[in-house]
Chains A and B, each alone.
Chain A
Amino acid sequence: MLEIKNLHARIAEDGTEIIRGLNLTVKPGEIAAIMGPNGSGKSTLSYILSGREDYEVTEGDITYNGESILELDPAERASKGIFLAFQYPVEIPGVATMQFLKVAMNEQRKARGEDELTTPDFMRRVKEAAEQLKIDPAMLRRPLNVGFSGGEKKRAEILQMALLEPTLCILDETDSGLDIDALKIVADGVNALRSPDRAVIVITHYQRLLDYIVPDTVHVLYKGQIIRSGDKELAQELEANGYADVIETAA
């Protein structure tokens, strides 16, 4: 489904190379965890997958369902089913949350040649998804993410994910800033979206989230490369021993 081959990428502005020959394959239905110490390139990878223009791919390729996505802008990638749940969702004053949701859903539908949602259908979908994630409807009447607490922002990200029904979900440090109750709600939300044709990449620093979203594969990212891959046991090993052992073995 997702294939990253020998990917090299740098920060467009100053040329700093962050991703240095990264290889990764994610299959439909798979939950892949990407772990690594700070500064290893985890967030950069999530931005590159979603098409942020601050990064330049200098070598290698990313294919999604057999097609290279490097030339696609973020909106085109989104309509192909790639979704990034942001580590720090931005607040946008003046953009009403409901209006944003409706525009996003309908623009993606349009891009895929589907009919736009009717207002009642849209409202029903939002209401159902919000209930499941225990999101207060009052929150949705506010401008996008404005005044949301850290936990509310993360829940709002998962709400968007549920509504947009992506085929590849990238969760960038979704556990950061969440207390245990909020973490469970978010994890339940993600687990509810598990399906044989949907893949999830969970980017995290800690093993904690992986107790709730159990991965099929675990990959260690270090200095812009995957230095080790394994199953969920690898995450536990990292939690027990830290990254030092893995890094040393790889070196």
Chain B
Amino acid sequence: MNIQANQPAAKLTVAETALVEAFSAQIGDLPGNGAVAGTRDRLLDDLKTAGLPTRRIESWHYTDLKNLLRSVPEQVAGTKVSSIAPLVKGSTVLPVLQGAAHADAEIDGVTITAFRDQLSDGSAVAGLTALDKDDAIGRLNGSFVRDGLALIIPANAEIEDVIELQASHGEGQIHTRFPVSFGAGSKATIVERHRSETDAAALVSSISDLTLEDGAEITWIILQQQGAADTHLAQIRVKLGAEAKLRLYVVNAGGKLVRQELRIEVQGEGAELTLRGVNLLGGDTHTDVTLVLGHNVPHTNSTETFRNVVFDKASGVFQGMIRVAPDAQKTDAKMACNTLLMSDDGDFSVKPELEIFADDVICGHGATVADIDRNHLFYLMARGVPENKARAMLVNAFVAEIVEELEEDKLVEPLEEIISAWLDKHA
């Protein structure tokens, strides 16, 4: 018999050692009261014991972080970055520059706090958790987080201007957190943007923690534009109350090693989730989007659609787990993941999973991987559009379809511009 015993803690990798050392070096410097410091210690300890996840951990099977994260960039002091024009004209920009929040903007009725203050007074401690035993991002971020922005949108507030949480950075280590609560019946559109100003490597971890109270109607757009050498480990945690409506868009258009986790709990009847993703993958990069969605109560709906375009030697992963709780009858969930493979050297792995414990539900998933439709290509070329341009139009169309579902021109147009610009550079 070939039984593998639980091995004693293996030797730490270069990256793991660097993380442990970085933590020791920062002790006393990381913001937080005693409770926060204790939590940080515990999370780092767990990280050290468990190590970075490998392919043997099921939820990390396609992203062997231990292997892929070869090193950790040095903490760099004094890196200067600046904010840029927001995605949507007229947005209120809340900048986080090299991991440090600027919370001085004012939005009527909205409470804006720098997350470092919540660490200092200890109110942040409840959120510094790992969601499960394999939650490496929760551990990493909980250990190292320095700042971020906490927003409270009061009940029934209708925030007209888009709010852009704009995290810009250069090289180094950046760990941020964005807890945002949306009061009952509130309406708002938020852009969560991560961008790099250099090609020098950064390690970024970021967790957004969203609570939608009953009847809130929120659009949340994650726009990831990290640098070519960056590791971006992100998580969005969402709780949806009764009748709450969330449109969650995830656009990945950067980074070298990216894991974006979506941990969503639908907790109130009548809640509705519209999840859309666009993954633009090129170069020698690895991008993983992992969804764990719980339909926990009866009468909730969700649709999940991802469109992926893979160039060069890029590899992509989508794992989509939908859990329907035993009494969550009348759940309606539809998941689709469509990939355009533009290169023979690229790959994309899709792993949909449905765990359904209720018997009166509609749940479905579908996945396709294809090249550009030859009939479409011929049609465009027969009208005089040269081949490279026709291909670009078709790739664009493939993802634009998803973006256009947003319907509001002020959101659709700038997102389409970002996508076209990315495609112009990579196609």
Residue of B nearest to A52 (CB): B378
A89 interface residue per 8 A CB criterion:
yes
Are B401's CB and A78's CB within 8 A? no
CB pair B389 A103 closer than 8 Å: yes
How far does the Cβ of B95 sit from chain A's closest Cβ, in whole Å? 33
| Contact between chains at A84 and B382 (CB < 8 Å) | yes
Find residues 51-88 in chain A having any chain B CB closer than 8 Å to their own CB.
51-54, 73-75, 77-79, 83-84, 86
Contacts A90-B376, A92-B376 known; A74 to B382 CB distance under 8 Å? yes
Asked if B371 is at the interface of the complex by the 8 Å CB criterion, the answer is no
CB-contact partner of A92 in B381, B386, B394, under 8 A = B394
CA distance A125 to B63 in the complex (A): 53
User: Beyond A75-B390, A103-B393, is A92–B385 a contact (Cβ under 8 Å)?
Assistant: no
Task: Describe B's contact surface by its main secondary structure.
Answer: helix
Q: Is the Cβ of A95 less than 8 Å from the Cβ of B384?
A: no
B383 at the interface (CB under 8 A from A): yes
Report Cα–Cα, A74/B387, bound state, in Å. 9
> In the bound complex, do residue A74 and residue B397 qualify as a contact, i.e. CB atoms below 8 Å apart?
no
Docked Cα-Cα span, A164 to B385, in Å, equals 12
User: Beyond A90-B375, A94-B398, A94-B401, is A75–B393 a contact (Cβ under 8 Å)?
Assistant: no
Bound complex: CA A182 to CA B396 (Å): 33
Say yes or no: A90-B379 contact (C-beta < 8 A), given A75-B386, A75-B387. Answer: yes
Taken together as a complex, chains A and B put the C-alpha atoms of A53 and B397 apart, in Å, by 23
What's the minimum C-beta distance from A12 to chain B, rounded to whole angstroms?
12
Given the known A-B contacts A75-B387, A107-B389, A160-B383, are A95 and B378 also in contact in the complex, defined by CB atoms under 8 Å? no
Alpha-carbon distance A52/B375, docked complex (angstroms): 10
Would you give the shortest CB distance from B167 to chain A, in whole angstroms?
30
Q: Would you call A93 and B385 a contact (CB within 8 A)? A: no
Interface range on chain B (Cβ under 8 Å from partner): 20 to 34
- Nearest to B376 among chain A residues (CB) is A92
Q: Does A50 contact B (CB under 8 A)?
A: yes
In the complex, B284 has a CB within 8 A of chain A: no
Residue of A54, A89, A107 with most partner-chain B CB within 10 A: A107
Contact B380 A100 (CB under 8 A): yes
How far, in Å, is A235 (CB) from chain B's closest CB? 27
Q: How far is the CB of B305 from chain A (nearest CB, A)?
A: 13
A190 interface residue (CB < 8 Å to B): no
Residues of chain A contacted by B386 (CB below 8 angstroms): 75, 107, 111
Q: Does A104 touch B at the CB level, under 8 Å? A: yes
Complex CA gap A86/B382 in Å reads 10
Known A90-B375, A90-B376, A107-B386; contact A73-B381, beta-carbon cutoff 8 A: yes
- Given A92-B376, A94-B401, A103-B389, A75–B396 Cβ distance below 8 Å? no
Closest CB-CB distance, B44 to chain A, in whole Å?
A: 46
Chain A positions within 8 Å of B379 at CB level: 86, 89-90, 92
Q: List the B side residues contacting A225 at CB < 8 Å.
A: none
Pick 16 A–B contacts, CB within 8 A, sort by A. Answer: A52-B382, A53-B378, A75-B384, A75-B385, A79-B384, A92-B376, A93-B401, A94-B400, A94-B401, A95-B380, A100-B383, A100-B393, A107-B385, A107-B386, A108-B383, A143-B397
Q: Which A residues are closer than 8 A to B by beta carbons?
A: 50-54, 73-75, 77-79, 83-84, 86, 89-90, 92-95, 100, 103-104, 107-108, 111, 143, 160, 164
